[in-house]
Structure 1
Amino acid sequence: ISGNHDSARRLGVGAGLIDRAGIHLRTDPAGCGTPVVLADAHGDVAFYGLPYLEPALVKTEFGVEKAGHEAVLAAAMDRVRADLATRARGTRSVVLAHAFVTGGEPSDSERDITVGGVAAVPCGVFDGVDYVALGHLHGCQALTERVRYSGSPLPYSFSEHRHRK
């Protein structure tokens, strides 16, 4: 998924080609409710990619009046839950999202995506799925048992020197 530092348009140019090779790049907000479905010995797992959603740019796509991070992310998750409701019972669900979620601890290197702190969204936005893998914060963190930040593979600022990478 593309993040706030990435050019979603540039990354998405070859997405169709590499998708056929088994590399699934999700940059288009319109595709939030369309998962990549993989199967294992226990059945299907639906992976939903939610790229960074810049509220002013995607509010029309999601039909929200107020351009805020929580509103657009909630609308994207509504699409995820709607799709998941059409799938076979027992389908597991994973959401990959680039967002600043309440309870996460930022470091110096994350680009501020807040205006007066309003960009932090509550964990409850992700209710209804089995696991949420978050990106944006560079430290590995568990917000709940099922909502976690993976962290970055390398430190990007001096404030990250104690992060376990």
Structure 2
Amino acid sequence: MRLIIAGLFALAVMLSPAAYAVQPDEIMADPVKEARARDLSRELRCMVCQNQSIDDSEAPLARDLRLLVRERIAAGDSDSQVIDFLVARYGEFVLLKPRFERQTWLLWLLTPLALAGGGLALWMHGRRRPKSAPGEDGSEAILSAAEEARLQRLMAAEPPPESPS
């Protein structure tokens, strides 16, 4: 039973994307610096895969970027210096979560603005709709005295409808 569980665990580890991405020869000797490199790698986009971080990607370019991140960390750069270096080299697209800057404010604000605009449109549409007539919302209709008298005359003049047999 233990052998089956160990085999399943090994299979799960081998099939997970993170197991393929970072190669043993990329790992830094200092665990603190390696943790920094992994954290930075999760924030950077693979330019080939485009929807994966370089930490998860198996692409050769992602490997090169992981090695570059580790090289910059080993040289003594801070996390922001490493990010700035990669943005200067590859552009803002290398960041999985773009910075809130003048060039990206529309990207960040478009969704909340669209939701606010939709809410405003619904509110204005609701205010423009005519109010429901009496009786349409389940309440009883209020008739004037003349309408009430006419209704009584009509009801008294008509025989009740016969049910079909």
User: Which protein has the bigger helix share?
Assistant: 2
Give the structure with higher Rg (CA): 2
TM-score, normalized by the shorter chain, greater than 0.5? no
Shorter-normalised TM-score: what interval? under 0.3
Question: Scaled by the length of structure 2, what TM-score is found?
Answer: 0.20
User: Which protein has the bigger strand share?
Assistant: 1
